[in-house]
Structure 1
């Protein structure tokens, strides 16, 4: 089970949506609360992590991921940096990162080249921050109202000619090498779990995510779910077998976990009776 985090599992207050559910803070930044889950979702994620192979999968950097007190830890594996890093027992896997770096070099432009081209196209009237993430990709934090109408499409076209792509998620515009993607890292972790005997050979891959950077991971999964909010919702993104939540905002996180639980219980009826089962997918 591979799940995106921000606006899929965890939510800032601005992303809560309607109502006031009971919540638990799962991330602090500079001493202030930042990200939350519903209290029910906290319980459900702990149950799933005890019974199945759950894989946190995020575009966050390693440092940003480590800020989260995600229920169900410690995680044998986690995917950060949009697939550019795989954490094994919390530590970056150097062999995976070396392979990613080689693929990026072979695929086209360097981060330095892309970053310079991006900075030459923007200005402070609508860009609040420019950031580079784990030496892999870059992103802008923007004022959404000020972004020129044609900027993203033109920038994405420039990037695709050089082995990169651009997408927008909320207040961030990501510029990503095409070699860096969540689906490849998820497939690698699945291979390792099967080789170690920690995952049944026929266990399906389930995935959840809300943004354009999650689309390839959702499409590659055997079964996938996305919330009824976020970038994919705005794009009207669909795929055969895709489930879309009924809920929006933070309540969608619990609905996604309920969907994961139902899928697991269908394979492991003991889970539905409250028993903890062996890892199975």
Structure 2
């Protein structure tokens, strides 16, 4: 059990706790009632078979949680399927605390990595995953889940970035990157706000590639859904060849809202 100020994080097995966790996820994602993010029966099965079902409590009230299961290769990997924090849990740094607890849980069981997916258009998640945690992009997955029926996702395609978080190295310090330095190219043309254009043709092994994203894609999906859908296509065109191509170093995300991929085989920018 991990305690941080008024926050307690622990595994869940009790039926009432599992039902409360399912409700927390509903509160976060607002799914179609006929298609919940995850049901109590699935949570019960995962918990009973030794997989990862954890809740974060504030003053005894469940305010967030995380669910994962063992992945391939067997005995090495935990796949983190879903992590969410309710309105009650905001402002308590629960997301970071849940990931650190997850890391500790996996290390105690002899695992070497945690994997998960996230929407690469959501800039705050990209910064959290790649910079604060030090996860590494492994695959770009096109429309991975299909239509989810979630309010936050709208009707946009569910492209996801599949990342790996190695557990045998400490979380690295983010590299210093000058997005305006020599040898830097931008893989999305944003001259027309309503029509962003992916430019995969500018990518070369020697270039440091910057891939910008909108500051708040979730608001854009509500107010400008067509523009948001165009951003999905532009990001797919720019990001997929970088993630699925030769390894680059560094790979990071800037607070200003952009992925940065270093040159193939080249040293990190100073």
Give me the TM-score of the superposition, normalised by structure 2. 0.26
More helix by share: 1
Give me the TM-score of the superposition, normalised by structure 1. 0.25
With CA pairs under 8 Å and 6+ residues apart, which has the higher RCO, 1 or 2?
A: 1
